[in-house]
Amino acid sequence: MTKPRKILENFLKPFFSSSNKGKNDDLEKIAAQEQKQFSFGVLVSATKDFHPDNKLGEGGFGPVFKGKLSDGRQIAVKKLSHSSRQGMKEFKNEAKLLARVQHRNVVNLLGYCIHGVEKLLVYEYVANESLDKILFKSANRDALSWKQRHDIIVGIARGLLYLHEGSHTCIIHRDIKASNILLDDKWVPKIADFGMARLYPEDKTHINTRVAGTNGYMAPEYVMYGHLSVKADVFSFGVVVLELISGQKNSTFNRDPDSRSLLEWAYRLYKKGRSWEIMDPALAQSAIPDEIAMYIQIGLLCIQADPPLRPTMQQVVVMLSKNPGSLDREPTRPGYPGSRIRSHRPGGGTSHTAGTSGASNPSTFSSSSISNTVSATASSSTPTRRRSDPHGKRPVRD
């Protein structure tokens, strides 16, 4: 056995339990074959000894640095913090899950490095950083035309579909949000940060797990009961869709004092036939009205309180490819922590505790309605700011 392969197998041992040894032997072999070892010296040189100027950010696992290899490739190096117990767990989880994952819309793991107490993961460098830094900063928002936002929505959907149905086993990301969507130099979105992701058993409708995620993006059934399924990722995707269209961040939403969140505000406007008011004024010049109206409807379908009513990511990808005006599904009320969720009864009956679909007014856009949105936004006064949860990404309960 070669030394690099032996090192990697030792590194991956904690990922696999002895009770599943037969199934996991194959994963270990594949991981050993597909991963590439980087020497610590190469990464020190590439990052200029992990110089602060090359620091891209920091998570529960530790800091991430930008680097450049001798062959000219730019990389991002995730360096595990020596003092982070949670970071070690997330680090190992990410290494395990990404060992066999490769898709245009999922960040690419290039390799690893183990050097004494140092443990590092090496990724492709994504030039435009994360979506939130562009979308939620007014000075940068104009850089995102509707065509770019459209392509970002479609790309995220395709990446999630791959994770749910196209990879070696179903993977639930658990933390889909704007800051975990990286944009490359061509604005292609890449799903990142798999530290909290979970493998999903094929024979289960959901699993019960410790709740961890980011406020404003987590599905209500997951927050309140710890019920995790692919529909939790669908919910988070729907939030990101509405954020991309509105330019508003759900967790700090304060446009309407009568609405608890961006989700509730968007649903109310949709039911009143005024979906065009949701649109970011920065899109006025590049908007395709009918297409945006359809994407709002799809976003609302994804954030419904009742998980079975939400589409799968395969259905979402199909809907995103349809012609505007061709969707015949009406969204019910959105979910948020504290909202009541429908309980499904044998025989297909449901208790309608989260609201019913009903017939909505046509949610159409026009050039005049778009200009009205721009002028109304420019002239409106700022409402009282709602307090946001200061904890952000955090475990909620066991």
pLDDT at 37: 80
Higher pLDDT, 285 or 89: 285
Give the structural domain span for 95. Answer: 16-124
High-pLDDT (> 70) share of the chain, %: 68
Does residue 262 share a domain with residue 222? yes
pLDDT, tens digit, 9 for 90 and up, residues 8-31: 455 444 444 444 444 344 434 444
- Give first-to-last CA distance, the chain, whole Å: 42
Residue ending a domain, among 124, 155, 175, is 124
Does residue 155 share a domain with residue 24? no
pLDDT, tens digit, 9 for 90 and up, residues 320-332: 999 998 898 999 9
Phi, psi (rounded to 5 degrees) for 36: -120, 130
175 is catalytic: yes
228 Rama class: left (phi>0) / alpha (psi -120 to 50) / beta: beta
pLDDT at 104: 95
pLDDT at 225: 87
Least confident segment among 104-118, 288-302, 304-318: 104-118
Q: Is the dihedral of CA 90, 95, 99, 104 positive or negative?
A: positive
Of 126, 248, 250, 103, nearest to 187 (Cα)? Answer: 126
Q: What's the rounded Cα separation, in Å, for the pair 358 and 331?
A: 9
247 Rama class: left (phi>0) / alpha (psi -120 to 50) / beta: left
Q: Is the dihedral of CA 233, 342, 215, 136 positive or negative?
A: positive
Higher pLDDT, 285 or 90: 285
Least confident segment among 34-48, 142-156, 202-216: 202-216
Of 249, 288, 283, nearest to 141 (Cα)? Answer: 283
pLDDT at 81: 80
CATH number, position 303: 1.10.510.10
High-pLDDT (> 90) share of the chain, %: 45
Q: Band the pLDDT of 234: cuts 50, 70, 90.
A: very high
pLDDT at 135: 93
pLDDT beyond 60 at 253:
yes
pLDDT at 24: 42
Of 40, 15, 34, 37, nearest to 25 (Cα)? Answer: 15
Is residue 368 helix, strand or coil?
helix
pLDDT at 372: 43
Instruction: Give mean pLDDT, residues 201-224.
Output: 71
Higher pLDDT, 36 or 234: 234
Q: How many residues does the chain have?
A: 398
Q: Supply the DSSP symbol for 51.
A: -
- Mean pLDDT over each residue of the chain, to the nearest integer: 77
Does residue 119 share a domain with residue 164? no
- Which helix (H) or strand (E) is 396 found in, with range? strand 393-397
Q: What's the rounded Cα separation, in Å, for the pair 97 and 240?
A: 23
Whether residue 25 is contained in a domain is answered as yes
pLDDT, tens digit, 9 for 90 and up, residues 36-86: 788 999 999 999 999 999 998 886 678 899 999 999 999 999 888 877 665
Whether residue 102 is contained in a domain is answered as yes
Q: Which of 25, 53, 71, 175 is catalytic?
A: 175
pLDDT, tens digit, 9 for 90 and up, residues 75-128: 999 888 877 665 666 767 677 767 778 899 999 888 888 888 888 889 999 988
Q: What's the rounded Cα separation, in Å, for the pair 8 and 1?
A: 11
Does residue 275 share a domain with residue 145? yes
Which tokens sit at 101?
């994952």
pLDDT at 337: 58
Does residue 176 share a domain with residue 112? no
Least confident segment among 60-74, 292-306, 370-384: 370-384
Does residue 177 share a domain with residue 108? no
pLDDT at 209: 60
pTM confidence score: 0.75
Does residue 226 share a domain with residue 360? yes
pLDDT beyond 70 at 207:
no
Q: What's the rounded Cα separation, in Å, for the pair 255 and 381?
A: 10
Burial of 346 per CB tally in 10 Å (0-12, 13-18, 19+): exposed
Amino acid at 8: L
CATH number, position 103: 3.30.200.20
pLDDT at 18: 44
Burial 356-385 (b: 16+ CB within 10 A, else e): eeeebeebebeeeebeebbeebeeeeeeee
Whether residue 11 is contained in a domain is answered as no
pLDDT at 363: 45
Whether residue 107 is contained in a domain is answered as yes
For the chain, the maximum distance between any two Cα atoms, rounded to a whole number of angstroms, is 70
Does residue 206 share a domain with residue 70? no
pLDDT at 366: 46
pLDDT beyond 90 at 356:
no
Q: How many domains does the chain have?
A: 2
pLDDT beyond 90 at 250:
yes
